[in-house]
Structure 1
Amino acid sequence: MEPVNPLITKDPVNGDELLVTRLEGRRSGIVIEGKFSLGWMGRLTPQQLTFVGLLVKHRGNVQRLATELHVAYNTARNHLDEIVAALEYPSEDEDGSSPVNVLEQLSQGAISFEEALDLLRR
């Protein structure tokens, strides 16, 4: 088997979420193409994903995780708090769908009239 690189979760140019467009079965060779979201994993950095994996390994016990990582409990807890913040869904104002933001985007030509109507109807 050829080596597999770690999952890249953010666009290295602007930090936006990446879309997966191709999936390939390692043994079967089957290829599936389309547009797939990384879901909640796309909001985390590779380091945060590793941390989550270790946290699951330790069944949520932050103290045991801190011991394995050779860091203080508070440091591990701070990492966990950062992950929780990254996983929270944006509020209406943060995702640009507040009426004021929609009208600003429309006036700047960033979105079309139809897109503005759609956002305002939500």
Structure 2
Amino acid sequence: MLPCYCPSCKAQLKVKSLKCENCETEVMGNYELPILALLSTEEQDFILKFVKHSGSLKEMANQLRLSYPTVRNLLDEIIEKIKSYEK
């Protein structure tokens, strides 16, 4: 998983450079990480499953073998986390 927070002070990391392994071109700057990259691996997996199931919480509940309200709560928690990153 991509490190998103400083191991020393826990501040959010930013991307400083990107490099093409094919031609060695390097792009330098100070870029924010995408919001989805800040989510945990489990939360990212949930979002991928959500998209693959066309946003059907009912289908996700069946696949995950969880109740619909539990899956709804998981989604609501991720939504709140995303909203907190946007501030």
The reply to whether residue 17 of structure 1 matches residue 12 of structure 2 is: yes
Aligned-pair distance for 1:88?
1.3
Q: Which residue of 1 aligns with 2:75?
A: 80
Aligned match of 2:47 in 52, 59, 62? 52
Structure 1 runs (4+) deviating above 6 angstroms are: none
TM-score, normalising length: structure 1:
0.54
5 Å matches for 1:26-45?
A: 27-45=22-40
Change (3 A) 1:22 1:86: same
User: Helix, strand or coil for the counterpart of 2:51?
Assistant: helix
% identity of equivalent residues: 27
Structure 2: distance between partners of 1:30 and 1:81 = 41
**Number of aligned residue pairs:** 86
Q: Bigger radius of gyration, 1 or 2?
A: 1
Note closer, same or farther for the CA distance 1:13–1:86 as it changes in structure 2 (3 Å cut): farther
Report the 3-state secondary structure (helix = DSSP H, G, I; strand = E; otherwise coil) of the residue aligned with 1:9: coil
Q: Distance in 1 between matches of 2:23 and 2:69?
A: 45
* Superposition pairs of residues 93-112 of structure 1, within 5 angstroms: none
Once residues 72 and 13 of structure 1 are traced to their aligned partners in structure 2, the CA distance between those partners, rounded to angstroms, is: 39
The residue type equivalent to 1:55 in the other structure is: F
TM-score, normalised to structure 2's length? Answer: 0.70
User: Aligned-residue CA RMSD in angstroms?
Assistant: 2.6
**For structure 1, which runs of at least 5 residues remain unmatched after alignment?**
1-5, 96-122
